A and B are shown apart, each in its own frame.
Chain A
């Protein structure tokens, strides 16, 4: 399953680096100058595409770290070095930073070109606790695609069916019946979809569809592609785009935070941090379509990424 996901969403179909970087010139200049560079981006956002571009420019090959490679720092004496998934250099646990410290010291003392790829949430966490940004000469962030860019990206890769507008009705106030025990209570309810449509009417259904896709995926092309691929054939409308929904307690949200930062992680390591509830949590998350097991690792599905991000931001877990 994990192999299939990697094959489909990364690196087979990510956008070109020119689309992912707000400005390519500083990145190219830094490559030419032999700088130490950190490239950060979310899971499925196309980070590998930028690193592949760097590897081609430096006439070398890109290497990728895997979870579980836990001995020694990076061999930064190899010049040039292009390596992705550097978030696997640490684990969020006591005694989990030795390899990272060793690598950062080596990078700070390196004379060669080092291009490293990091998950953006792992980077943000490490920057808070280790000021990791100061170690690198250049930090390049992968930008979120706009609705128009996502539309172009999808039209290049998929056949887009007819897009119809949502039939929302005219009334802002509707009623909903709740059953509590033996009683039924009907309460008025504001339909924010209709309200939004009346306040800011959209010109055409396609525009609304890609705006919603951009909002749900947060401009992440891999996530947007997966959300689109969930739709079955025939006419589609904006409300057909959905992300999995789940309500988990704080330990479950912490598990999602670990997965968001690590992208893939060994279940044993996660179980050690999450405790006895781990198996039950993973079962619930997997049934909801948020996580999947791939080989020896647990990972978020592309459509599960927005759900995980929402939960983590709501709980403010760094």
Chain B
């Protein structure tokens, strides 16, 4: 057994022998300074690369999500490289020592850092399996919005109200995730309108369809059809239109545009919308 190696005695005794030169290397001020510089450079480099990719992505709306998909991958690659650059030369670990250290780290994680590490593993699963990507519209734990960042530990979601919600990545293993667009810029949007129960529904359905297909935000082709359906409710008829927007960021603008123009057309054609129920005053 090498003096710098690992000695396994019996079934449970684990002795990690670190050479004096190694300890000197670790204690050396310039080495510590070098490690700090590498980590700082990695932090700044990852930020700059992520920002650069985001800027490029925002300038090309049709490929925005594809480009943003690389942001978390680049971050992980930069941080992994930095950790490698810091740990391996500083500690000068052999393969056996690395094995032993990983065992120790595993034990430490098991007791104290379980939450953090499950988040990190969730992040790694997110990057490899990609149930959602940066730029997707998702619902996680009742939080709906656009994924703006996937970190190693957590995912940031920007809600329609412009709040940022941070969700731990280990929610991936516990919650159901709804992805509205799965990496493509198009997204299905539903617009509901109501007409009075005794109104002719055909004309209203055609008007809603025209409002959908004439919107500036709509995206229609054979794979992205426009559909209008009628549902009878107790007090009224509900007309539900479903169409895709070319860019999921236009979801609310599309809904507003279609609703506004369809309602104006209903008024113009004398199609009644249901009366609001009178509020019942209670003592």
A316 to B61 CA separation, bound complex (whole angstroms): 8
A238 CB, nearest partner CB in chain B, Å: 25
A75 CB, nearest partner CB in chain B, Å: 25
Contact of A315 among B213, B220, B226, B246 (CB under 8 A): B246
In the complex the two chains form, is B226's CB within 8 Å of A129's CB?
yes
Asked if B62 is at the interface of the complex by the 8 Å CB criterion, the answer is yes
Asked if A189 is at the interface of the complex by the 8 Å CB criterion, the answer is no
Asked if A264 is at the interface of the complex by the 8 Å CB criterion, the answer is no
In the complex the two chains form, is B216's CB within 8 Å of A254's CB?
yes
Report the nearest A residue to B266, measured CB to CB.
A94
A173 to B219 CA separation, bound complex (whole angstroms): 41
Contact of A250 among B216, B219, B226 (CB under 8 A): B216
Q: A315-B61, A318-B219 are known contacts. Are A92 and B214 too (CB-CB below 8 A)?
A: yes
A317 to B186 CA separation, bound complex (whole angstroms): 12
A315 to B249 CA separation, bound complex (whole angstroms): 12
In the complex the two chains form, is A94's CB within 8 Å of B247's CB?
no
A308 CB, nearest partner CB in chain B, Å: 14
A148 to B246 CA separation, bound complex (whole angstroms): 36
Q: A314-B62, A316-B246, A316-B247 are known contacts. Are A95 and B265 too (CB-CB below 8 A)?
A: yes
A254 to B250 CA separation, bound complex (whole angstroms): 13
Report the nearest A residue to B262, measured CB to CB.
A94
In the complex the two chains form, is B214's CB within 8 Å of A94's CB?
yes
> Please, what's the 1-or-0 string for B45-89, where 1 marks a CB less than 8 Å from any CB in chain A?
000000000000000111000000000000000000000000000
In the complex the two chains form, is B220's CB within 8 Å of A129's CB?
yes
Which residues of chain A have C-beta atoms less than 8 A from B261's C-beta?
93-94
A273 to B60 CA separation, bound complex (whole angstroms): 26
Interface residues of B in 167-217 (CB under 8 A from A): 185, 207, 210-211, 213-214, 216
Asked if B218 is at the interface of the complex by the 8 Å CB criterion, the answer is yes
Asked if A257 is at the interface of the complex by the 8 Å CB criterion, the answer is yes
Q: A94-B262, A128-B221 are known contacts. Are A317 and B246 too (CB-CB below 8 A)?
A: yes
Among A94, A97, A273: residue with most chain B CB under 10 A: A94
Interface size class of B (residues with CB under 8 A): 20 to 34
> Please, what's the 1-or-0 string for A227-256, where 1 marks a CB less than 8 Å from any CB in chain B?
000000000000000000000001100100
Which residues of chain B have C-beta atoms less than 8 A from A96's C-beta?
210, 214
A129 CB, nearest partner CB in chain B, Å: 4
Report the nearest A residue to B224, measured CB to CB.
A128
In the complex the two chains form, is B246's CB within 8 Å of A94's CB?
no
Which residues of chain A have C-beta atoms less than 8 A from B220's C-beta?
128-129, 318
A291 CB, nearest partner CB in chain B, Å: 17
B113 CB, nearest partner CB in chain A, Å: 42
B100 CB, nearest partner CB in chain A, Å: 47
Contact of A94 among B216, B250, B265 (CB under 8 A): B265
> Please, what's the 1-or-0 string for A78-108, where 1 marks a CB less than 8 Å from any CB in chain B?
0000000000000011111100000000000
Report the nearest A residue to B269, measured CB to CB.
A95
A57 CB, nearest partner CB in chain B, Å: 34
A131 CB, nearest partner CB in chain B, Å: 9
Q: A129-B220, A314-B62, A318-B220 are known contacts. Are A94 and B210 too (CB-CB below 8 A)?
A: yes
A317 to B220 CA separation, bound complex (whole angstroms): 10
A316 to B249 CA separation, bound complex (whole angstroms): 13
Which residues of chain B have C-beta atoms less than 8 A from A97's C-beta?
210
A314 to B264 CA separation, bound complex (whole angstroms): 31
Q: A96-B210, A316-B247, A317-B246 are known contacts. Are A257 and B216 too (CB-CB below 8 A)?
A: yes
Contact of A316 among B62, B211, B262, B265 (CB under 8 A): B62
> Please, what's the 1-or-0 string for A303-318, where 1 marks a CB less than 8 Å from any CB in chain B?
0000000000011111
Among B62, B216, B265: residue with most chain A CB under 10 A: B216
In the complex the two chains form, is B207's CB within 8 Å of A94's CB?
yes
Report the nearest B residue to A251, measured CB to CB.
B216
A128 to B218 CA separation, bound complex (whole angstroms): 11
A175 to B207 CA separation, bound complex (whole angstroms): 56
Report the nearest B residue to A317, measured CB to CB.
B216
Residues of B within 8 A of A (CB): 60-62, 185, 207, 210-211, 213-214, 216, 218-221, 226, 246-247, 250, 261-262, 264-265, 268
Query: Can you name 12 A-B residue pairings with CB atoms under 8 Å?
Result: A93-B261, A94-B207, A94-B210, A94-B262, A95-B210, A95-B268, A96-B210, A129-B226, A251-B216, A315-B246, A316-B185, A316-B247
| A-B contacts besides A251-B216, A316-B219, A317-B216, 5 pairs, CB < 8 Å | A94-B214, A94-B262, A128-B221, A250-B250, A316-B246
Task: Return the 8 tightest CB-CB contacts between A and B, nearest first.
Answer: A254-B216, A316-B246, A94-B265, A129-B213, A128-B220, A94-B210, A92-B214, A94-B211
